[in-house]
Amino acid sequence: MNNIIVMKFGGSSVATPEKIKIVAARVAKKSKSYKVVVVVSAPGDMTDDLITKATRITLLPDPREMDMLLATGEMQSIALLSMAIRSMGKDSISLTGPQAGIHADNVHTKAKIRKIMPQKIIKELQKGKVVIVAGFQGLNSNDDITTLGRGGSDLTAVALASALKAVECEIYTDVKGVYTADPRLVKDVKKLDLISYDEMLELAGVGSQVMMARSIEVAKKFNVIIHVRSSFSQEKGTLITREVPLMEDVVVSGIAYDKNEAKLSITDVPDKPGIAAKIFGALANANINVDMIIQSAARERYNDISFTVPKSELKNAVSILKKVSCNIGAGRIIYKEDVAKVSIVGIGMKSHPGVAAKMFAILANKKINIEMISTSEIKISCVVSEKDTQKAVNLLHKEFGLNKSNTR
């Protein structure tokens, strides 16, 4: 089947009945030229509210039951949107993730999509219906619902676009596209017309909430063209695509920050083979993602290892590390929560030396202390004190010229 398009609407786009009607009209219009598969998120802040509700019942909610609860948010949106589309005279059907053939693994609250069996979606499209799929959820091998991690509706949309060989995956949200920085923190942001998968992947990975990082990985792997645009404007947004030559001219294309990580250190770690594997193996076994690892030079056959973990995993990580530290004969576990990671990203870094030095100088000039540094080919991240976040992001945005007119 060809001429399929996937349209994904985020939570803010379906937050109220009025907004759902606007979305429905947009979908109905698009269905005149395409076979449309819509993916929707839970309305507004419902996912956050459900998490809060669960933690008022118990501080450690059972993950299977948590997924059962969280999946209800998206189910409200699909039913309401389908009602709205039908009331406009266009036939449509709502499907949960499991009904849509989305199979995921068994890791509750952050499952990965294993495969998509889209036969039901295709059958309904062939009947001329708009198919509305609940984002962020799938079915595991025990026939239980698992959710795909925060922001997971982006992943549902991109994976469906790939499975259905859609012409494009449109991500409709509350901003007009991908900007040079988060518009909530920086006033004079510029919208990017184009951004490469690699840049978007890095930006998403270091805190830019506009797209979920894993969705970009899938898009890159399967060549899905993503168009990030506003639900409430007809303007063209940002295309996320393969790298094109002109992209290299821009050294820094975006800036992101992340206040969701905490810094952890384990002191006096014996300097011998296999120790790092024990520390990080124990964290990996608990499904804790570790980022920015720094090991100090050994002194008298001991060293310190520092790294960051999501703040939500800090308690768990500390209790695991205390046990590991005992086993390997290391020292104390120290942690700090009021930190933020500030990152600059750009494909042009590959061909322009001195970018890291410039970033450090910009921060140093304003007395912002850098606690940790990590780099990739197209990204430099610094951990700073949380209170310096806004100042650091705005400074870097200005000094790297991102407030000037868009060159892409």
Q: Report d(CA 76, CA 96) in Å as an integer.
A: 10
Please tell me whether residue 136 binds ligand ADP under the rule CB under 6 A: no
What sections of 333-373 are H helices per DSSP? Answer: 355-365
| 187 C-beta neighbours (distance < 10 Å), count | 10
Please tell me whether residue 179 binds ligand ADP under the rule CB under 6 A: yes
Q: Which does 175 bind (CB under 5 to 8 A by kind): Mg ion, ligand ADP, ligand ASP, none?
A: ligand ADP
Taking the complex as a whole, the smallest distance from the CB of residue 2 to ligand ADP amounts, in Å, to 28
Q: Which stretch binds ligand ASP (CB under 6 A): 152-160, 277-285, 286-294, 364-372?
A: 152-160
Q: Report d(CA 135, CA 154) in Å as an integer.
A: 7
Q: Name which of residues 33 to 62 contact ligand ADP (CB under 6 A).
A: 41
**From residue 295 to residue 334, what is the string marking binding to ligand ADP with x (rule CB under 6 A)?**
----------------------------------------
Burial of 74 (0-12, 13-18, 19+ CB in 10 A): buried
Listed residue (205, 210, 90, 79) closest to 134, CA to CA: 79
Q: What are the residues facing 254 on neighbouring strands?
A: 345
Name which position in 151, 152, 205, 346 contacts ligand ADP (CB under 6 A). 151
C-alpha pair distances (Å), 383 with each of 212, 252, 339, 352? 21, 18, 7, 23
Q: Report d(CA 202, CA 74) in Å as an integer.
A: 27
**From residue 242 to residue 281, what is the string marking binding to ligand ADP with x (rule CB under 6 A)?**
------------x---------------------------
Please tell me whether residue 209 binds ligand ADP under the rule CB under 6 A: yes
**Gyration radius (Cα) of the chain, Å:** 22
Taking the complex as a whole, the smallest distance from the CB of residue 17 to ligand ASP amounts, in Å, to 18
Residues in the chain: 408
Q: Which does 181 bind (CB under 5 to 8 A by kind): Mg ion, ligand ADP, ligand ASP, none?
A: ligand ADP
CB environment 100-126: b (16+ within 10 A), e (fewer): bbbbbeeebbbbbbeebebeebbebbe
Please tell me whether residue 47 binds ligand ASP under the rule CB under 6 A: yes
3-state SS assignment for residue 372: strand
Contact footprint for Mg ion (CB under 5 A)? 10, 151
Please tell me whether residue 152 binds ligand ADP under the rule CB under 6 A: no
Please tell me whether residue 400 binds ligand ADP under the rule CB under 6 A: no
| DSSP sequence for 316-370 | HHHHHHHHHHHHHT---EEEE-SEEEEEEE-GGGGT-TTHHHHHHHHHHHTTPPP
Q: Report d(CA 153, CA 10) in Å as an integer.
A: 8
3-state SS assignment for residue 179: strand
Q: Which does 43 bind (CB under 5 to 8 A by kind): ligand ADP, ligand ASP, Mg ion, none?
A: none
Tell me whether residue 11 or residue 101 sits nearer to ligand ASP (CB atom): 11
Please tell me whether residue 94 binds ligand ADP under the rule CB under 6 A: no
Q: Report d(CA 205, CA 379) in Å as an integer.
A: 10
Taking the complex as a whole, the smallest distance from the CB of residue 149 to ligand ADP amounts, in Å, to 12
Q: Which stretch binds ligand ADP (CB under 6 A): 170-178, 219-227, 283-291, 380-388?
A: 170-178
Q: Considering all CA atoms of the chain, what is the largest pairwise distance in Å, rounded to the nearest integer?
A: 77
Which residue's CB comes closest to ligand ADP? 10
DSSP letter, residue 368:
P
Q: Which stretch binds ligand ASP (CB under 6 A): 41-49, 161-169, 340-348, 377-385?
A: 41-49
Tell me whether residue 188 or residue 271 sits nearer to ligand ADP (CB atom): 188
Taking the complex as a whole, the smallest distance from the CB of residue 157 to ligand ADP amounts, in Å, to 10
What sections of 113-212 are H helices per DSSP? Answer: 119-126, 153-163, 197-205
Taking the complex as a whole, the smallest distance from the CB of residue 321 to ligand ADP amounts, in Å, to 31
What sections of 178-256 are H helices per DSSP? Answer: 197-205, 213-222
3-state SS assignment for residue 24: helix
Q: Which stretch binds ligand ASP (CB under 6 A): 101-109, 148-156, 259-267, 380-388?
A: 148-156
Q: Which does 12 bind (CB under 5 to 8 A by kind): ligand ADP, ligand ASP, Mg ion, none?
A: ligand ADP
Return residues touching ligand ADP (CB under 6 A): 10-13, 41, 151, 173-175, 178-179, 181-184, 208-210, 254
Return residues touching ligand ASP (CB under 6 A): 10-11, 41-42, 47, 73, 135-136, 150-154
